[in-house]
Chains A and B, each alone.
Chain A
Amino acid sequence: MSRKPYIRTLSSTSWWLAQPRYIRYMAREVSCVLIGAYTGVIVVGLLRLSEGANAWAGFVAAMQTPASVVFHLLALAFALYHTTTWFNVTPKAMPLQFGDTQVPGSIIIGAHYAGWIVISAALLLLAGV
């Protein structure tokens, strides 16, 4: 007899349950659903705002329902997960080298977090928190 290579197949729907690193990956990817939905909320808000004071007041009220709060908490969790996963890989995607010394990844990541804190604080201050 001769060759008969055996091909193992992977489930195209549940492969990601096989390893913790794949689950972490999928969590990162799924963050887009929450970020996308939240963006939708903003669009709705803008539309309401453009419709006048009453429409806007209704929107603000809707944002304070328990369902909305739960949604936003969830969105916040995934958004933060997105932020950390995004920052943590920047040294890979955009390494920095000066002369023949490589800037350590931790510095690049640290700079991103520092920027993030500044921007977030500015936004919160601007809003009046």
Chain B
Amino acid sequence: MEMTTTDIVIVGAGGAGLRAAIAIAESNPDLKIALLSKVYPMRSHTVAAEGGAAGVAKDEDSLDNHFNDTVSGGDWLCDQDAVDLFVEQAPKELTQMEHWGCPWSRTSDGKVAVRPFGGMKIERTWYAADKTGFHMLHTLFQTSMQYPSIERYDEYYTTDLLMVDGACRGVAAIEMRTGQMRLFRAKAVIICTGGAGRVFPFTTNGAIKTGDGMAMAYRAGVALKDMEFVQYHPTGLPGTGILITEGSRGEGGILVNNDGYRYLQDYNLGPPDPWPRKKAMELGPRDRLSQAFWHEQKKGRTISTPHGDVVHLDLRHLGEKKINERLPMVRDLAISYVGVDPVKEPIPVRPVVHYTMGGIDTDIDAKTAVPGLFAAGECACVSINGANRLGSNSLTELLVFGSRAGRGAAEVAMAESTHVDESAIEKAAEEARAKVTGLFQNVGGGETISGLRKDMNSTMEEGAGIYRTEESLKDTCVTMKEIHARFANIDLEDKSNVYNTDLLQALELGAMIDVARAMAVSALNRQESRGSHQRLDFVERDDEKFLRHSLASYAGADDPGVDYRDVVITRSQPAERVYGGDQK
């Protein structure tokens, strides 16, 4: 197999991967970087982020405020040392983006503007109209072009990490245009492959968010942490799942039920007035808002549409000028995809799977337990998001931990004087190659990729959705185990080499199945309700037993084993999460 030797491999060229690459190039221009991505960098799903990126900007704000909002928003499942570091680095990284040309929206005096976001006490969300992720991704991508040491391998689908003597020393990837498997030998590897929302049927996540990197690390022996925490965003468009950014509520949008009533006041988020008000009503955290929808639906107070029940997000009172200026994309999306002009009518919305809080277990330096292996971005779990991520913390996380991972990997690469033997890499890749050949050789199994994917999607939605029970989760685990077994009977219809998307979808499905099982089993074992993980049979938070991270470890066909690790608490003791009128 053709082998490329480099110093550091980065898998994934979204926000996190690009930030890591630039960090390496800047810290030591002599280090060679191979940046692999299954899509061209600007297609990465960071491009879809709308609302903004959080970092303390105003004089009346403080790092402590950002810390407290994040920790309570995460229902105290955040590691507080990581959060401290995160809030401290956030403004620096966002300023760095400004220096690279990111077109942040501005105030009239020329400073970077910030907007309010859900669960945040003071406005600290930097934004570029409502295309923040798009602008950040393109700024990072364009900036990366000036570093000759960053060698891009666009449309290379990474299948496996290559382990030599217990350390990660490279990856195996399929060059999509030739179908050839290529090996990359490196001193360190960073995984930045993004989230896994496609495990669920109704999601804001693009087709590429299939948890590949999570599955790769998991199979290579790194635990997946806190996988039971899956965020539902309260405002997705019915049918497509296209996101209507929280920024629209930040600007003053309200949510009403079929009576035109601002129902959030019934769920400890009120009183509704005065409005807008930080950390209250529509600016409460996402988990609470999505859960409130669920209850409204049970009470029959939602509006039914051909694409399921919805509530209304009303922006009309903002007026056409403000909507065009601050939320142009929201207007465009609503008009295009549901035929509703938010200037004239309220937008139908419903909760939609949005973000995986859990991921590859890393420490505060983005390091995993496997030597030479780092992870950053949505695929990783450094534990700043805890049980519920606050909107706009993720884009910042990409930057903070992306660059940290880059610098960490650079150190490792500089410390390693030699590469491992080529033969060792070849040997490590045998299994990877056999897996792909196996898929080609399968015949007569009768399972189809789309069929299996649908089964997985509906199983996860039914059993591991917004509200969960012992029974629903047990069923899910059993069915997912069956689906895992059925995967062996998948038939590839496409046997060709050039741009074989049938093969790639099969590999992605394999990754999603592993990730989904980790989610379901972790959820079953967490017998409490915390943040986005809500159990109808264990409605209270149980700090005694579960103020801990879950760690799912891969067990092949069997259900993963789940261990626990204490949460790092430094200065904020667990307390009740209070939003709305009761907050101080």
* B271 contacts A by Cβ under 8 Å: no
A-B contact count (CB 8 A): 12
Question: Which of chain A's residues 1-17 have a Cβ closer than 8 Å to chain B?
Answer: 1-4
Which residues on the A side are within 8 Å of B497 (C-beta)? Answer: 1-2
Question: Which of chain B's residues 158-190 have a Cβ closer than 8 Å to chain A?
Answer: 177-180
**A4→B179 CA distance, assembly (Å):** 13
* B485 contacts A by Cβ under 8 Å: no
**A1→B499 CA distance, assembly (Å):** 12
- Closest chain A residue to B498, Cβ basis: A3
Which residues on the B side are within 8 Å of A4 (C-beta)? Answer: 498
Question: Which of chain B's residues 301-348 have a Cβ closer than 8 Å to chain A?
Answer: none
Which residues on the A side are within 8 Å of B498 (C-beta)? Answer: 1-4
**A4→B177 CA distance, assembly (Å):** 10
CB distance from A99 to the nearest CB of B (A): 10
Task: Please give the number of chain A residues whose Cβ is less than 8 angstroms from any Cβ of chain B in the complex.
Answer: 4
**A4→B498 CA distance, assembly (Å):** 9
Which residues on the B side are within 8 Å of A1 (C-beta)? Answer: 496-498
**A3→B179 CA distance, assembly (Å):** 9
**A2→B178 CA distance, assembly (Å):** 6
- Closest chain B residue to A1, Cβ basis: B497
Which residues on the B side are within 8 Å of A3 (C-beta)? Answer: 177-178, 498
CB distance from B153 to the nearest CB of A (A): 16
Which residues on the A side are within 8 Å of B177 (C-beta)? Answer: 3
- Closest chain A residue to B177, Cβ basis: A3
CB distance from B130 to the nearest CB of A (A): 18
Which residues on the B side are within 8 Å of A2 (C-beta)? Answer: 178-180, 497-498
- Closest chain B residue to A100, Cβ basis: B108
**A1→B179 CA distance, assembly (Å):** 10
Question: Which of chain B's residues 490-519 have a Cβ closer than 8 Å to chain A?
Answer: 496-498
**A4→B178 CA distance, assembly (Å):** 10
- Closest chain A residue to B497, Cβ basis: A2
- Closest chain A residue to B496, Cβ basis: A1
**Beta-carbon contacts of B529-568 to A below 8 Å, as 1s and 0s?**
0000000000000000000000000000000000000000
**A1→B500 CA distance, assembly (Å):** 13
**A1→B177 CA distance, assembly (Å):** 11
CB distance from A26 to the nearest CB of B (A): 33
Interfacial residues, chain B to chain A (CB-CB below 8 A): 177-180, 496-498
12 contacts between A and B (CB under 8 A): A1-B496, A1-B497, A1-B498, A2-B178, A2-B179, A2-B180, A2-B497, A2-B498, A3-B177, A3-B178, A3-B498, A4-B498
Given contact pairs A1-B497, A3-B498, A4-B498, a sample of 9 additional A-B residue pairs in the complex whose CB atoms are under 8 Å apart: A1-B496, A1-B498, A2-B178, A2-B179, A2-B180, A2-B497, A2-B498, A3-B177, A3-B178
9 smallest CB-CB distances across A and B, nearest first, come from: A2-B178, A3-B498, A3-B178, A3-B177, A2-B497, A1-B497, A2-B498, A2-B179, A1-B496
